[in-house]
Amino acid sequence: MIRRLVLTAGIALAVSTGCSRDPETAGPTEPPFDDSPIVEHTDTAPPAVPQATPAAAEAAPEGDDNLFYANDFDAEAVGPVAGDAVLVLDGDWRVVAAPDGIGKYLELPGDPIREMGLLLGPDVPGAISITVRAQASAQGRAKPRFGVGLNGAGGYKLRVVPARKIVELTKGEEVVGTVPFVWESDRWLRLSLTMRPTADGCELVGLATTAAGEARISWSDTEVPFGGQAALYATPYASTPIRFDDVRITRPE
């Protein structure tokens, strides 16, 4: 099953990488996502799924100038994530088949317990946005932390912090803003982070969306970033896997 994400017009957020402003162009519209929990892995092997090369899975549709990277991982080979558009910073990131054998997703195991990440997609100048679906589980009182990033490994991050019941926006490791957020263990949610250039620097907007609602956070930076790839981050504080699916990197509206 190919899961899809929605990047709504109301969450447009972008950043400058030191280049001039990009013309406002409309990106593709996608159907709503399914936030139902997934079934944990069993010892039963899933049905075989046709494989394709990573390059085929990462290719953007022809003629879509606003889509730089799209991957639902269904065409990827099961095992360590690979491809020219992916750079693992830390962690054993793997493509895993769904328990029902229909579709795949990217998974970080629950050990070791530290923040781990990977960069993906091209280094695109000007306004840029990443959207992704994510799922994680609590274990007792322990809760994971996970999110997306832009502008490279030291850039901006939008992270869900269930232990504090917030979504936070950071620049490097400095927290620049937080908003309340109700996270549900085992449920898929959607995250988006956009950066757009302004006359004085750049504006950032992040969104965390569930079936129950959404949390929006925005912040203006007076510094112009130097560019960098989009990223995924995860910290398995609960010692449980953290999963990502339907990654899209686009030129925002």
E strand segments, the chain: 67-71, 79-80, 86-88, 94-97, 104-108, 116-120, 128-136, 145-150, 156-161, 166-171, 174-180, 189-198, 201-210, 213-221, 230-235, 242-250
Query: pLDDT digit of tens for each residue in the chain (253 aa)?
Result: 333 333 333 333 333 333 334 434 334 444 444 555 544 433 333 333 333 333 334 545 555 789 999 999 999 999 999 989 999 999 999 999 998 888 999 999 999 999 999 999 999 888 999 999 999 999 999 999 999 999 999 999 999 999 999 999 999 999 999 999 999 999 999 999 999 999 999 999 999 999 999 999 999 999 888 789 999 999 999 999 999 999 999 999 7
**Which two tokens mark 108?**
């970080």
CATH number of 197's domain: 2.60.120.560
In the chain, how many domains are there? Answer: 1
Domain that holds residue 177: 9-26+68-250
Residue 39 lies in a domain: no
Kindly state whether residue 32 falls inside one of the protein's structural domains: no
Does residue 63 sit within a domain? no
